[in-house]
Structure 1
């Protein structure tokens, strides 16, 4: 592992308990190796921290390990609004802030005078929850980068970034530093800018590039002085390893200066193994937001060819980078644009699609292209005041499929469109019914009810209601009817192989267990997918609690074969667990888990001990209970 500054930056790190555990694990694993393959154990602080970095790397590379780590960090770094004292403190703070601003503006009469603490909490609770969710969303972007690591940064740098983020609040008015984050800070985490992040890494890893600060003949004396002052500032920040100030500085340095007046352009190819400095130089000072511009070009060209679409600049040359296509060996790795969080500009989707269709694996990006075209179509319809059809609304509200894009986040146009809609008025259009046929309470359900939107209750799934939502549009309970039985374990394995479904060793172990039994006769199984929160557990719940509550609602556990059968018969991509009688794997009670990586569907396992606690966002698939008629 390359040498780094973590032991010096964090003097207590090498002797901390997490590092101690990593070192112990390293020693134990080393002893299992043949003598000739054994390495000397960690002997100094640098070695000990390196052992810890390797341990984190293994955790991050493992899907389950990363998920646990991510939730742990989210819980530690973000607002804990489930704590009554925290909720009260933040609600009071928001109230006092609103009151102070109103007084400063001479609007005292507009401030509602709330009496009791409980009244203040009730009024501001939704706002506090909203701010907590925004914190989780902005921090998740950084954590997902820790996992994906498209920039190919070493673990020591990713660790340094995460430790720094814990203390970073809002960017100050001058834009040169961040305020300190405390346990009651309601501000979101800084926005992730891959180009700025790459700039920081390059400066910490390589130091000052003297060529960058060479005075030019056409510069005035004042400009030369400012250039050297800038150099001294950067050098000082590098020496003290101040990520917050370096990142703030980098955000300014990588501010976009792209000319987007035209889409006329041409593609330029950078060959694998070529001079990465040419690629870096072509992107310099363009503000694309791509990590390739500031430190990752070398790794990217080591991994494969790189294509960039340049549009015409003000000088008439093709100099404005607008679309990037990165190859991983012989397969397409990613397609990025220069809009928010590297989304493609709508007018360039066709150009990108035409190009990636000429490359291996390009067809896997067609859904993204189609979805972005549909978002553009709806944006134009909204601007013209045209009516949205049922199909338009199903797409916009992601009722049947998730809207995909080319960037790291959702295209902001989606949220903008939704904010202009009235979900209550749109619901009857989606359900093709009258407003009176939509019930929101148990008492409102009758023989004409076509949809129910509200809290679940015992017997809800036996009411023969076509559409069930806990909230509209995001709370849809997905139903699946699949066929189970009639196939052996070997046939299921062969079917998944033919469909190119990746089956993890853990899932294979469950299928090889004597407790995994398939029915001889084929039959239909009606399934439903819902979250822990849908079941009424807003603060999460244990496996046993989830199973019991589902049974109270008229659901039952799935036969184990539902795992591979549902994987074969559905396109579920998001992390989804099969609610089933656990099967022991290496002594741990486990269940099947459905997942995906890019366009490839996967079948995995997950530990599900009876007392295992699940977050409210976890999705489980249950079987609808069959009743004798």
Structure 2
């Protein structure tokens, strides 16, 4: 696939005028400035410069945020009014069919537009985050091609077997990410332009005993490359196959280890047409992942009794577990009957400690699911777990295990009634309710001074359970900048280049003497911004409630303390922006991915817009 990476011929054929686009010309001019060489006239060289520029934007956090704003403004926010009116027409028509007369006024339309923008931004963010992850094994040309293409597509229509086209103002969400299908598309296009990629696929197919007449030819690969991305992606989805419900009931099976640096053919072959959403089903991806470390797959029997059905994948990188995935859903959560099997294997491998809570949580979730299905009552401890009162439930997929919501939303469950059980009915239901020494929880709107008025022993929610607000004490001060940086390094915490440059900035100050600081953690929605808000709006609302911006050293100090952060969580520090080495107005962000814990930076200009689910930490006013 290397030549396909270096040679942008495919993009030239797909987009004949791409080399003459404003972006390509600008990229070539920038290349001239940095290298001193003349601007290339060859179309493919110009596209190559564009890909280099694109890669620079995608993998640079600050520039990626600017790119995100440009994309959101052009493809989402600009069409807010059209989306609102379109949604209103549909909903008014549906209401009339029920004999209800509904009309949307200006305020209702504005709110409907905000909802549409929020939904679409969240839908598009999944692609931006996915393709900006350097650990995902896609070539720059493919990242560019796929991302450009999905901007004009809606979600997969299972009945029609295709992706609907988007038009300006449509409320269609963007397509879901299917990692397996993306790997298939990249492989096929690579085979059309790279003989080595084609030979690798042909070799693997022959080892699978594919009839010679059905072995991929370059002509077939070229025909595939000429198809629209919508058709290519649809074909990739159809190629996945399906794991039947009968197959999913089987638990007896075997682990197979694919060693680092080994031929990826066997691993790739074992995942073809098996219904997984693993990107490893792409040959190029399998090759790249085996170059990074060992790969373990647990297979259960197919209908002939042969262990060929992949159920669990554990990928190693840098000598430790990088990720563990299942086949329960598109987010690759583990099936309930696979959790114990995965746990036993994980415990044998380096890096197991960061997955132990996920394993324990999944086993407990499975037990509670069985308990509920049998009609048994849940204990107070069971309810505290399901509603994540004490800690977040961790799983193995990219998103929350869907069983959490299923258990909470069962017809026989009443969240408010469950809250009364959990807190022994000692709940204040708003600022006008009686609050005394017996009160265990407050559920209601926030008011100025609430965090000083309510003692730390009282749990605070704006709504139960999703509106929970966290409080904790953090010690800051007493360490120099160098000592903080050395401690982060000693504890194996990843620090991005920009976050490091923020700590070197003279605006980043540390206090000479240690002191305790009360922190409050909340999401944008709990502040009352259900449709998101700007940085300035968030800061102003927090300050109106009696909170203030954190000292900058809260970023590294809280990072050192917050060791049990759930995988894929982001936590922003509400602080005065500090310039990074690129001059960007940044705040610190604490996150946790397959590489471990991170202290990172995030662009936070006064008018930067944040989603309602974004979580911030502020300090309590002294």
Question: For the Cα contact (< 8 Å) 2:254–2:300, is it kept in 1?
Answer: yes
Residue in 2 aligned with 1:29? Answer: 34
Give the TM-score taking structure 2 as reference length.
0.84
Aligned residue among 323, 338, 355 for 1:348: 338
Q: Is the alpha carbon distance of 1:257 and 1:554 closer, same or farther for their aligned partners in structure 2, counting shifts above 3 Å?
A: closer
Q: Are positions 1:88 and 2:95 aligned together?
A: no
Contact 1:364–1:599 (CA under 8 A) maintained in structure 2: no
What secondary structure is seen at the aligned counterpart in 2 of 1:180? coil
Check 1:317–1:117 CA distance in 2 against 1; reply closer, same or farther (3 A cut).
closer
Post-superposition CA distance 1:438-495 (Å, at most 9, x none): 223x333544654333433323223225222233222222212112233333433343
- Cα shift at 1:348: 1.7
- 2:351 maps to which of 354, 361, 364: 361
Q: Is the 8 A contact 1:134 1:188 kept in 2?
A: yes
Q: Distance in 2 between matches of 1:470 and 1:561?
A: 29
What are the residue-to-residue correspondences of 1:474-493 with 2, within 5 Å? 474-493=466-485
8 Å Cα contact 1:170-1:179 kept in structure 2: yes
Contact 1:469 1:476 in 2 (8 A): yes
SS of equivalent to 1:527? strand
CA–CA distance in structure 2, aligned partners of residues 478 and 55 of structure 1: 41
Question: Does the alignment pair 1:396 with 2:386?
Answer: yes
Q: 1:239 to 1:589 in 2, by over 3 A?
A: closer
| Counterpart residue number, 2:169 | 184
Report the Cα distance in structure 2 between the residues aligned to 1:139 and 1:542, rounded to whole angstroms: 19
Question: What residue number does 2:49 align with?
Answer: 51
Deviation of 1:210 after TM superposition, in Å, equals 7.6
Give the secondary structure class of the aligned counterpart of 1:333: strand
How far does residue 194 in structure 1 lie from its aligned partner after superposition?
A: 1.9
Residue 130 of structure 1 deviates from its aligned partner by 6.8
Report the CA distance shift for 1:54/1:383 in structure 2 as closer, same or farther (over 3 A).
Answer: same
| Residue 252 (structure 1) aligned with residue 258 (structure 2) | no
- The answer to whether residue 297 in structure 2 is matched with residue 308 in structure 1 is yes
- 1:337-383 Cα shifts (integer Å, max 9, x gaps): 22212222221222222223222223322222122112212211221
- TM normalised by structure 1 equals 0.83
Instruction: Provide the residue aligned with 2:23 in structure 1.
Output: 18
Measured on the aligned residues, the alpha-carbon RMSD in Å equals 3.7
State which drifts further: 276-285 or 609-618.
Answer: 609-618
Q: What are the residue-to-residue correspondences of 1:600-611 with 2, within 5 Å? A: 600-610=596-606
User: What's the offset of the Cα at 1:245?
Assistant: 1.3
Task: Give, in whole Å, the separation in 2 of the partners of 1:502 and 1:593.
Answer: 12
- Residue 12 of structure 2 is matched in structure 1 by 7
Match in the other structure for 1:503: 495
1:401 CA displacement? 3.1
Mapped partners of 2:504, 2:130: distance in 1: 35
Aligned to 1:414: 404
Cα distance in 2, alignment partners of residues 218 and 19 from structure 1 = 42
Aligned residue for 1:300, secondary structure, equals: helix
2:227 is equivalent to residue 241 of structure 1: yes
User: What's 1:267 paired with?
Assistant: 255
Cα pair distance change 1:394/1:251, threshold 3 Å: same
Distance, in Å, in 2 between the alignment partners of 1:270 and 1:524 is 50
CA distance in 2 between counterparts of 1:249 and 1:506 reads 40
SS class of match (2:281): helix
- On the 8 A contact 1:88/1:121 being kept in 2, the answer is no
Structure 2 residue ranges without an equivalent (≥5): 193-197
Moved more, 302-311 or 231-240: 231-240
Using the TM superposition, give the Cα deviation of residue 155 of structure 1 relative to its aligned residue in structure 2, in angstroms. 1.8
Match of 1:323 among 294, 297, 312: 312
Q: Distance in 2 between matches of 1:439 and 1:401?
A: 23
Structure 1 residues 590 and 252: alpha-carbon distance in aligned structure 2, compared to 1, 3 A threshold: closer
Distance in 1 between residues matched to 2:532 and 2:158, nearest whole Å:
39
Paired residues in the alignment total: 595
Verify the 8 A CA contact 1:326 1:334 in the aligned structure 2: yes
Look at both structures and tell me which one has the larger radius of gyration over its CA atoms.
Answer: 1
CA shift for structure 1 position 540: 4.6
Match of 2:195 in 1: none
Could you list the runs of 5+ residues in structure 1 that have no partner in the other structure?
32-38, 103-109
Contact 2:95 2:101 in 1 (8 A): no
Q: Aligned equivalents of 1:24 and 1:615: distance in 2?
A: 36
Q: 1:60 aligns with which of 50, 58, 61?
A: 58
CA distance in 2, matches of 1:149, 1:585: 21
Contact 2:188 2:225 in 1 (8 A): no
The aligned residue for residue 278 of structure 2 is: 290
Mapped pair 1:623 → 2:608: no
Q: What is the CA–CA distance in structure 2 between the aligned matches of 1:218 and 1:133, rounded to whole Å?
A: 47
Q: Secondary structure of 1:387's match?
A: coil
Checking the alignment, whether the CA contact within 8 Å between 2:446 and 2:462 is kept in structure 1 is: yes
For residues 540 and 459 of structure 2, the distance between their equivalents in structure 1, rounded to whole angstroms, comes to: 23
1:555-600 Cα shifts (integer Å, max 9, x gaps): 2222333222222223456333333344454555544332333373
CA distance in 2, matches of 1:194, 1:152: 10
Task: After TM superposition, list the pairs within 5 Å mapping 1:219-230 onto structure 2.
Answer: none
1:531/1:619 contact within 8 Å kept: yes
1:144 alignment partner in structure 2: 129
Contact 2:6/2:48 (8 A) holds in 1: no
Mapped partners of 1:113, 1:11: distance in 2: 51
- Secondary structure in structure 1 of the residue aligned to 2:105: helix
Cα gap change, 1:71 to 1:512, in 2 (>3 Å): closer
> Is the 2:191–2:221 contact (alpha carbons within 8 Å) kept by the matching residues of 1?
no
Match of 1:276 among 246, 261, 264: 264
**In 2, are the aligned partners of 1:19 and 1:52 still within 8 Å (CA)?**
yes
Cα distance 1:74–1:346, how it changes in 2: closer, same or farther (>3 A)? Answer: farther
Q: Which residue of 2 is the match for residue 106 of structure 1?
A: none
Higher deviation after alignment, 409-418 or 503-512: 503-512
Instruction: Give 1:525-604 correspondences, 5 Å limit.
Output: 525-538=517-530, 540-571=532-563, 572=565, 574-586=569-581, 588-598=584-594, 600-604=596-600
Question: Who is 2:324 aligned against?
Answer: 335
User: How far, CA to CA, are the matches of 1:610 and 1:621 in structure 2?
Assistant: 17
Deviation of 1:615 after TM superposition, in Å, equals 4.5
Cα distance between partner residues in 1 of 2:156 and 2:509: 57
